[in-house]
Structure 1
Amino acid sequence: MADFARSDSGAVQTQLDRLAKLSPGGDRLGLERIVQLLDRLGRPQDRLPPVLHIAGTNGKGSTCAFLRAMLEAAGFNVHMFTSPHLVRFNERIRIAGKLVTDEQLAELLTEVLDCSQDIEPSFFEVATAAALLAFSRTPADACILEVGLGGRLDATNVVDRPLVCGIAGLGIDHRQWLGNRLSDIAGEKAAIAKRGVPLVTQRYSPPAAHQVQRKAEEAGAPWIGRGALWESRLIRGEIHYRDSHGALTLPMPSLPGRHQADNASLAVAMLRHQDVLTVAPEAMAKGIRSATWPARLQKLAAGPLTAMLPKGSELWIDGGHNASAARQVADHLRRTARDNLPLVLIFASLTTKDPRAMLKPFAGLASEIHTVPIADYDCRPPTALAELAAELGFRASGNETVEQALGRVGQPARVLIFGSLYLAGEVFRANGEIPD
């Protein structure tokens, strides 16, 4: 799947155009190109502040957001690299708490691309190199790196000695790269483990847990697994966390969904199992309450798209793109809907995803499904998705645009746009909401 970006800055767009011509596009795993590129740039990965490295199928981005919020609440300056961006490339790189500016980004991309001519790096490899270069030149107290795809061969896996590593929720995704079994996927993601560096994880099925344990042992990394060395439970609307350091009672996150309590707890566990950055429980609680992460069960503000819906409607978006994310979203909506608003799903899917598995959790919940394409990406035809939805028992229609799909909502409803972070970015732009 070819990745790309557009920018309103002419200087940035010039470099993005260079990247599009230079890179063959698509996902390309392997460390040879990124290592060669970083060597030419003076190995910026060796000059970073303490690194917190996070992998996972679902929840790793939210875990990064919780880590950043907690660390900043404790008074630290934090770099952060995440992917993908929703509207602007700048969203991927946060330097000491602030999004990279267009001027900074143009200069970083120019420098990286000038060193890349015979390497043919991927889009993600160039983004990673630009982020590491920026982080190496600006003082900060911590650096959060989100794995892009997998872990073992991901471009972020070039830091020899991070402070702590974490793995969020696991699910079946990217089968062509990571394997068809959850245990295979677990092994790929656990390969970010480094000798002597704590590997903090969620609780997994026995086959997946066995692979995580095996990878940790091979690397010489202490495995800090949920259920063994730390635990977290929801009791009467609070997170009750415990580990060998003691027990904490923490608030529920402002991010909707019970699964966000799991992500916040993983962030707490990562911070509690390192000894460089001191984060008091009060800062953890403040970070959990203040953390934001766009396109995760987010209610859209007033704008051109929300204005298209009948009065009394709500427009929500979630960038989930696999079966486990769909189950989490559907579970949240079942538990929290206290009114009679019907749920209408506006849905899209890349060709690499399993739309049947993503739609099944909404059976008996969504009153109708309107399918749409994802502009500029290799996606499943809306008509084919609508036929699949009809086979599953939904009232469904295929549409050429999100606007056309919204126009089919004839009565007040809770409308959820779901199926892809790329679709989420398209929707944010159309509604005039630019994540910052």
Structure 2
Amino acid sequence: MGQPDMPLHRSYKDAIRALNSLQSNYATIEAIRKSGNNRSANNIPEMVEWTRRIGYSPAEFNRLNIIHVTGTKGKGSTCAFVQSILKRYKNKDFVTASRNSSSSSLASSRSNETEKPHITKVGLYSSPHLKSVRERIRINGKPLAEDLFTKYFFEVWDRLESSESNPSTFPQLSPGLKPAYFKYLTLLSFHVFMSENVDSAIYEVGVGGEFDSTNIIEKPTVTGVSALGIDHTFMLGNTLTDIAWNKSGIFKEGVPAVSVPQPEEGMNELIRRAEERKVKFFKVVPDRDLSDIKLGLAGTFQKENANLAIELAAIHLQKLGFKVDVKDDLPDEFVEGLSSARWPGRCQIIEEPENQITWYLDGAHTKESIEASSQWFTEKQTKSDQTVLLFNQQTRDGDALIKQLHGVVYPKLKFNHVIFTTNITWSDGYSDDLVSLNTSKEEIDNMDVQKALAETWNNLDKASRKHIFHDIETSINFIRSLEGSVDVFVTGSLHLVGGFLVVLDRKDLPN
């Protein structure tokens, strides 16, 4: 897809159209996959060059005070917890060390200091988005407004248009070429946060770590690793050691590194890499009970992500000069942050009383995450008249995922209806922010994946009624036509969950 000419008056839709032109199409991705060369080693030098061309050096991003988080599952939830905690420290000159500490004594201890610790704006860069691409770039918990997204998007676009790379050093970066979708958004996030004077930023790694476009960050305040598992094997390798090597690529000399407990193979590699990278210290998060805190994100597995977030936030705040102690009782700000954290599409329950429907949403694209998600659903699901599964996984091994799901859910409960849909939003096409070019149009049009998944499920469970639908809107309309009370488990692809949320609230109607 060619990069479009830009109109004189640039709207948000123009920005999204231009951004979508930067997606790698399915044929390109398949060609790279078959060649066995994913060009990952070029990612960091190219990102540094793109950064130079929009007017920055990576060292300048150090003033954002970045927390850098990687992992296979749970890294997004961890970032959401950290964001929520840091928001409680906005515009505070000092904080209590624990629930029982005296704030007045801390205030007097800081009275002679000329520079007090402060946080005014908390930035979060994460992926993927659910309903709007603006969700990927947040300030103080809110997605970037459309007008600001448009403004900054075209500032980056124009800077790239008016600059060139040295052809002898970067022959692959021809004039007029733009970074691919995720790289462009990463560049945009840095430009937004620098322009908006963000002073604490959280960056979720896209894929891996070592070669991820976020890894031009030179001096984060702390790095974190959530649970490791086998995923993105084409890019990261087929073993936990390979994956841990890639993820730990975000470790930096002199910077603390923190991890949740990992399988021995992965943990050994993280420890080895921490020593190799000369991190300030490497710490495995303690298993705090947290039973007296109602976490804002549902699911028993969120306790591990919350514990990682506590350590990351504490180290970050201490680095900024706040007096924070989380060894015993957690400060009130931490408790409030953990309780009020929100991360849509992850273990989310939506009631639709007018249709007697309860929707249970959780994007889960690895065997480990689908197992945790399925356990959550079986624990939360009520005794309804009908139980429905709405599923898709277009780009990963959906066959393995639904087998895992079936193994957890059955025989505790059984689905009356099992629906396999594409990720297409509406009956007449995608929502603008959800256009996807990196999947096979032919496969989607023929619903090849959905037919294969239905066949697999039929071998597992012949009693449930199987349905294949072209789009999410049609799937929801069918579910709403069912009689009696209905519990619906929406899982698999986050793109499915995002499209589902768009259709459910009808805030983004088709053109």
**TM norm. shorter chain > 0.5:** yes
- CA–CA separation in structure 2 for the residues paired with 1:411 and 1:233: 42
Query: Cα deviations across residues 397-432 of structure 1 (Å, max 9, x unaligned)?
Result: 322233444425454231011111111111111111
Q: What's the offset of the Cα at 1:204?
A: 0.7
1:422 equivalenced with 2:495 (yes/no): yes
**Letter aligned with residue 300 of structure 1:** I
SS at structure 2 position matched to 1:200: strand
- CA–CA separation in structure 2 for the residues paired with 1:223 and 1:434: 47
Could you say which residue in structure 2 is the equivalent of 1:247? none
Could you say which residue in structure 2 is the equivalent of 1:300? 350
Q: What's the offset of the Cα at 1:271?
A: 2.3
Q: Would you say the 8 A contact 1:341–1:413 is kept in 2?
A: yes
TM-score by length of 1: 0.85
Structure with bigger strand share is: 1
Moved more, 390-399 or 213-222: 390-399
SS at structure 1 position matched to 2:227: coil
- CA–CA separation in structure 1 for the residues paired with 2:300 and 2:496: 24
- CA–CA separation in structure 1 for the residues paired with 2:308 and 2:22: 38
Could you say which residue in structure 1 is the equivalent of 2:308? 266
SS at structure 2 position matched to 1:374: coil
Moved more, 32-41 or 185-194: 32-41
Structure 2, unmatched stretches of 5+, are 1-8, 30-37, 91-118, 162-174, 325-329, 425-434
**In structure 2, which of residues 184, 192, 197 is the aligned counterpart of residue 134 of structure 1?**
192
1:284 equivalenced with 2:352 (yes/no): no
- CA–CA separation in structure 1 for the residues paired with 2:384 and 2:192: 50
Could you say which residue in structure 2 is the equivalent of 1:4? none
- CA–CA separation in structure 2 for the residues paired with 1:291 and 1:372: 30
- CA root-mean-square deviation: 2.5
Could you say which residue in structure 1 is the equivalent of 2:35? none
Could you say which residue in structure 2 is the equivalent of 1:90? 134
Could you say which residue in structure 1 is the equivalent of 2:114? none
Q: Would you say the 8 A contact 2:251–2:274 is kept in 1?
A: yes
Q: What's the offset of the Cα at 1:25?
A: 5.1
SS at structure 1 position matched to 2:224: strand
- Structure 1 or 2, whichever has the larger Rg, is 2
Q: Would you say the 8 A contact 2:310–2:334 is kept in 1?
A: yes
**In structure 2, which of residues 77, 80, 91 is the aligned counterpart of residue 65 of structure 1?**
80
- CA–CA separation in structure 1 for the residues paired with 2:23 and 2:423: 22
Could you say which residue in structure 1 is the equivalent of 2:395? 351
> Where do 4+ consecutive residues of structure 1 move more than 6 Å?
none
Query: Cα deviations across residues 129-182 of structure 1 (Å, max 9, x unaligned)?
Result: 111011112223311111111111111111100000001111221111111222
1:110 equivalenced with 2:183 (yes/no): no
Q: Would you say the 8 A contact 1:386–1:397 is kept in 2?
A: yes
Q: Measured at CA, do residues 343 and 202 of structure 1 come closer, stay the same or move farther in structure 2, by a change above 3 Å? A: farther
Within-5 A mapping of 1:136-175:
136-175=194-233
Q: Would you say the 8 A contact 1:63–1:263 is kept in 2?
A: yes
Q: What's the offset of the Cα at 1:24?
A: 4.4
- Count of equivalent residues: 405
- CA–CA separation in structure 2 for the residues paired with 1:271 and 1:106: 31
Within-5 A mapping of 1:204-215:
204-215=262-273
- CA–CA separation in structure 1 for the residues paired with 2:300 and 2:403: 20
Could you say which residue in structure 1 is the equivalent of 2:101? none
TM-score by length of 2: 0.73
Q: Would you say the 8 A contact 2:394–2:449 is kept in 1?
A: no
1:80 equivalenced with 2:124 (yes/no): yes
- CA–CA separation in structure 2 for the residues paired with 1:94 and 1:285: 22
Moved more, 257-266 or 373-382: 373-382
**Letter aligned with residue 61 of structure 1:** G
Structure with bigger helix share is: 2
Query: Cα deviations across residues 68-90 of structure 1 (Å, max 9, x unaligned)?
Result: 11011122330111111111111
Question: Which structure has more RCO (C-alpha within 8 Å, separation ≥ 6)?
Answer: 2
Moved more, 334-343 or 289-298: 334-343
Moved more, 161-170 or 381-390: 381-390
Q: Measured at CA, do residues 341 and 51 of structure 1 come closer, stay the same or move farther in structure 2, by a change above 3 Å? A: farther
Indicate the percent of aligned positions where both proteins have the same amino acid. 27
